[in-house]
Structure 1
Amino acid sequence: GKIHKIAKNIKPGNARVIDAAGLYVLPGIIDAHSHIAIDAVNEATNPVTAEVWVGDALDPYDISIYRALAGGVTISHAMHGSANAIGGQCETIKHRWGVTDPDDLRMDGAPRTIKFALGENPIRVHGEGKDVVPNTRMGVEQVFRHSFSKAREYMIGWEKFRNGHSKTAPQYSLRLETLADILKGDIIIHCHSYRADEILMLMNVLKDYGVNKICFQHVNEGFKVAPELAAFGAHASVFSDWWAYKFEVYYSTAYNAAILTRNGVVTSINSDSGELIRHLYHEAAKAQKYGGLTDEQTLALITLNPAIQLGIDDRVGSIEEGKDADIAIFKNHPLSIYAINQYTIVDGEIRFNIHEDEEDQRIDINPEETIPAFYEATEAHDHEAEGCMQGVYEFLFEHKH
């Protein structure tokens, strides 16, 4: 399913025709930070678990895929959690709802990615939870340096063996193979981050090891170091206005996306949520409301820019001939509060149609009953439990170490 031609009065042949008169057609929305289509997201058994891969545990039956389609989202970046300083490899998936083989969710040819994490999460899980490094932010930095140094030694050892300068090959390690691929530039780092000082720290570490492919996730204090991020070539995937759910996230601004964008940082807005993923077009609109971004800049936050961050912008993120036919069709302007997605098309196939799925989407409810329940759910909401730290506390407190 590719976009073959863009023109007026094209003869459709055997293709299905959608009457989109008066509607808005845009590229399929892309979520650069998601945990849908996977179960447990944290292999929280070691500060470094680069060898594990989310792609080994995809769940095509996760109803969140269908719900994401209802919001016009065609692709998500299914990520390992943030319990470890160096977590597992992630998977870029297409929302092909209805397939039963996990392999059919994978976006073939998408670059490899891996999850890193700064700050409280790896410190709490490993230092406080298991009394191992890292127990401080200094320790997190040393986990990175130690791991990269071991990977570099591993690469040198294999090079000497292959060149005949050593008779003994290094012992094969899937973990070190993965870390070596980061040093080679074959894997893009996506790093859980909040504080500006830690963001600068990791960029300094990466400079020392010649690594330049990184997208900082959350990056709540990115606005403080926007010029430095741009100079490094780092990307940023942020929340629109979500912070203060734990101490290290107490400081941010709804102007974050706009400030980063105006400083030349490739910026996206993500969900990190199986619920918020359905509303990414509203989340992007907040950046326009607060930061005054143009329609094009704002829509790029959820289309082209996340595609660039995932290394798939040659195939998706914009409507162009030759690109994948991933399209969302909206009633009302997609940045309007009245926007409602009508159709979501993935690889040229309609995966969501509000008219055919009407009974699923239009439940008869009483607002007077649901509004109090909404506020109750909001008060009880725990971002950490839903997103990057799924399953970690059960692991820490229900198991003996």
Structure 2
Amino acid sequence: SLAIKEQKSFLKDLRTAVKKGLPKSAALAALTSTPAEMLSNRKLGHLNKGAQANFIITNGDVFAKGGKIAENWIAGKRFVINELPKLTPGIYQLTINGKKHELKLTNDEDLKLENPDKDSKIKYSVKLDNGFISIEIKDQENSNSLFGRVLYNGFNSILGQKPEWHAHRISDLEKEDEKDKAQQDSIPLLPRPFSAYGLHKPAAAKTYLIKNTTVWTGENAGILTQTDVFIKDGKILQIGKNLAVKTEINIDGSEQYLTAGIIDEHSHIALLSVNDIAVNSSMVRMEDSLDSDDVDIYRNLAGGVTAAQLLHGSANPIGGQSALIKMRWGAESDELLIKGTDKFIKFALGENVKRSASQKSIRYPLTRMGVEQVYRDAFTNALAYENQWQAYKALSSKAKKHAKAPRRDLMMEATLEIINKNRYVTCHSYVQSEINMLMKVAEDYRFNINTFTHILEGYKVADKMLAHGVGASTFADWWAYKWEVNYAIPYNASIMTKVGLTTAINSDDAEMSRRLNQEAAKSIKYGGLSEQQAWNLVTINPAKLLHLDDRMGSIKIGKDADVVLWSDNPLSIYAKVNKTFVDGR
């Protein structure tokens, strides 16, 4: 309510939001449990045993018109805002000398009595005064007045008074659920995301049979012609000719090509923020910066991309933690994440890290030698941090009472995960000297680099990379956009592939990610890779680098139904994406 000019409008505006479709449970949580959770206060925001006695008592539904706050209790102290009425709205039965009247009592603004039968000619008026009630009953010919006492949910004549009469509540008012529903149904259906190409209805997994198509499996089976692929529950269930299965949707794949979805090993789309300039940002998580509204997700689908690794920027020797996502357009940010994956982190070498582009930079490190020292210092400090915790945990329960636990350090914990092989490194890299350096540093601390990305001088040290056990994710033919790229060659991907490295081609660019199929095709021209080898550069190979090849990257029974139907040979510049499926959607 801080920014509201008129504080009195807060409840009115909240009711409007509920009327427009905000669930009452969400509105209540936004006022109670959610802020308590943000404050990390377990005694606020709920009414469970042990909670602080902060609560309100309302007269009616506080989110509906006419609902009022009756009492506000703070730390067990009662504050009366509006006296709770003795008469609760509802259907009352009024009995006068044995004759019964059924009346509707409401209390929106003023107390009212009326006959539920709208055709009735009898009119009622009522007044309350200090615990007493006056009722006037009029029809076309007569008028009668009643006076009596108010009880809880009832009222009656004073003893000895004539005529004798009494009234009591017999039921609740009929709820206007249908009216409310009609109002909600009139609310326009908003697309998700609320932008161009948003979906009015989320994509649903169905059973599909793609018939009589050319399948590039990415497996030992190679290319299968005039083949059917059956998709159910988000998985590839059958592959074969003339499949006879029950399905919801049949797709004629004649003269089309079916492949696994493209996987972009190095991307920065769908992120609200990418860079910072700390020396070690290992505690930063890209999953906390996801932007599911980014139209680049939709554009990637249009280019046949179904999954990507979203990386932190390259201004830091040790960057932030990666997010592995699928292109689930229309989903919420946390729904983009691929569940159950290994954990990855971004490292960087070279000009970006030593801040060559900024002559005014005074941040350490300013040299390539300084970058190496950053790594050694970080890993040494992480091991010391681990030793501190191990020593503390080894203490007896009695000794721990007199000892101070080490301060928890999220940066050291993430750095330690790397040494303990629980988090895998994707490293931005260019020149051979630094590539060699980082492999040596990793070996000194007994772990391996998972992937060198960019790696434009990889062709010079491919044999050393193979011995270390690292993969490569490179550009097809980028060159000379800064000094350390001057020795890049378009044969790089082909050479590394032929040496035996698991090699991928990535985008690092929202525009290029839409045509990674064409980037892969360049390695046929530059280096003579076969079509299947070239296609593997953007499908099964990046899946291997991201430890996802058991789930995606090829067309195989049991794998996720992340597949693309192309109009032409997928490596052709004339190929267009006809359909992209993610999880069978």
For Structure 1 versus Structure 2, the TM-score category normalised by the shorter chain is 0.7 to 0.9
Q: Aligned-pair distance for 1:131?
A: 1.5
Q: Of 90, 115, 118, which aligns to 2:346?
A: 115
Which residue of 1 is the match for residue 367 of structure 2? Answer: 136
Q: In structure 2, how many angstroms separate the alpha carbons of the residues matched to 1:128 and 1:58?
A: 32
* CA–CA separation in structure 2 for the residues paired with 1:12 and 1:327: 19
Per-residue displacement from partner, 1:144-181 (whole Å, max 9, x unpaired)?
Answer: 00001111111122122222288443210010110111
- 1:93 is paired with a residue whose SS is strand
Cα distance, 1:130 vs. partner?
4.1
Describe the SS at the equivalent of 1:292.
Answer: coil
The 1:151/1:116 distance shift into structure 2, 3 A limit, reads same
- Offset of residue 321 of structure 1: 1.0
User: Which residue matches 2:94?
Assistant: none
Task: Identify the residue that residue 155 of structure 1 maps to in structure 2.
Answer: 386
Q: 2:484 matched to which residue of 1?
A: 248
2:248, 2:317 → 1: CA distance? 49
Q: Name the structure 1 match of 2:268.
A: 35
Aligned partner of 2:291 in structure 1 is: 59
The one-letter amino acid of 1:228's match is K
Equivalent residues of 1:43, 1:88 under 8 A apart? no
2:454 is equivalent to residue 218 of structure 1: yes
Letter in 1 for 2:526: Y
Give the alignment's TM-score, normalised by structure 2. 0.58
Q: Hey, what does 2:529 align to over in structure 1?
A: 293
Where do residues 212-361 of structure 1 align in structure 2 (5 Å cutoff)?
A: 212-349=448-585
The alpha-carbon deviation at position 127 of structure 1 amounts to 8.5
Quick one: which amino acid aligns to residue 17 of structure 1? N
Closer, same or farther: CA 95–13 of 1 in aligned 2, 3 Å: same
Cα distance in 1, alignment partners of residues 305 and 410 from structure 2: 33
RMSD of aligned C-alpha atoms?
A: 1.5
CA distance 1:125–1:61, change in 2 (3 Å): farther
Cα–Cα, structure 1 residues 55 and 129, in superposed 2: closer, same or farther, change >3 Å?
farther
1:89 to 307, 315, 321: 321
Letter in 1 for 2:423: I
- Residue 361 of structure 1 is matched in structure 2 by none
Q: Is the 8 A contact 1:114 1:188 kept in 2?
A: yes
Letter in structure 1 aligned against 2:439: M
Q: Give the Cα separation in 1 of the matches to 2:389 and 2:248.
A: 53
Matched letter for residue 351 of structure 2? E
Distance 1:129 1:23 in 2: 55
Shift of 1:140: 0.4
Flag the structure with higher helix content.
1
Please say if residues 87 and 115 of structure 1, whose CA atoms lie closer than 8 Å, have aligned partners that are also in contact: yes
Aligned to 2:40: none
Deviations 1:62-85 (A, max 9, x none): 000111111100001111010111
Does 80-89 or 126-135 show the bigger shift? 126-135
Partner Cα distance (2:360, 2:301) in 1? 38
Counterpart position of 2:305 = 73
Q: TM-score if structure 1 supplies the norm length? A: 0.84
**1:30–1:37 CA distance, 2 compared to 1 (3 A):** same
Are the aligned partners of 1:128 and 1:135 in contact in 2 as well (CA < 8 Å)? no
**Structure 1 CA distance for aligned equivalents of residues 376 and 358 of structure 2:** 17
Counterpart in the other structure of 2:376? 145
- SS of the residue corresponding to residue 4 of structure 1 reads strand
**Structure showing greater relative contact order (alpha-carbon pairs closer than 8 Å, 6 or more residues apart):** 1
Q: Distance in 2 between matches of 1:125 and 1:169?
A: 41
Matching of residues 170-209 of structure 1 within 5 Å = 170-209=406-445
Q: Which runs of 5+ in 1 are unaligned?
A: 350-401
Deviations along 1:316-350, one digit per CA (max 9) or x if unpaired, are 0111111100001111111122211111100001x
* Structure number with bigger Rg: 2
Deviation at 1:125, TM superposition (A): 7.3
CA distance in 1 between counterparts of 2:247 and 2:556 reads: 21
Of 256-265 and 151-160, the range deviating more from structure 2: 151-160
Residues 276-325 of structure 1, C-alpha deviations (whole Å, 9 max, x = no match): 00110100000111110112211110000000111111100111111100
| Cα separation, 1, equivalents of 2:357 and 2:414 | 21
Mark the runs of 5 or more structure 2 residues left unpaired by the alignment.
1-233
Q: Could you give the per-residue CA deviations for residues 203-233 of structure 1, whole angstroms, max 9, x where no partner exists?
A: 0000000111420010000000000011100
Task: Report SS of the residue matched to 2:236.
Answer: coil
Deviation at 1:98, TM superposition (A): 1.3
Q: CA deviation at 1:136?
A: 0.4
The answer to whether the Cα contact below 8 Å between 1:54 and 1:91 also exists between their aligned partners in 2 is yes
Q: Which amino acid aligns with 2:274?
A: V
- Report deviation, 1:255: 0.3
- Tell whether the 8 Å contact from 2:351 to 2:357 is kept in structure 1 after alignment: no
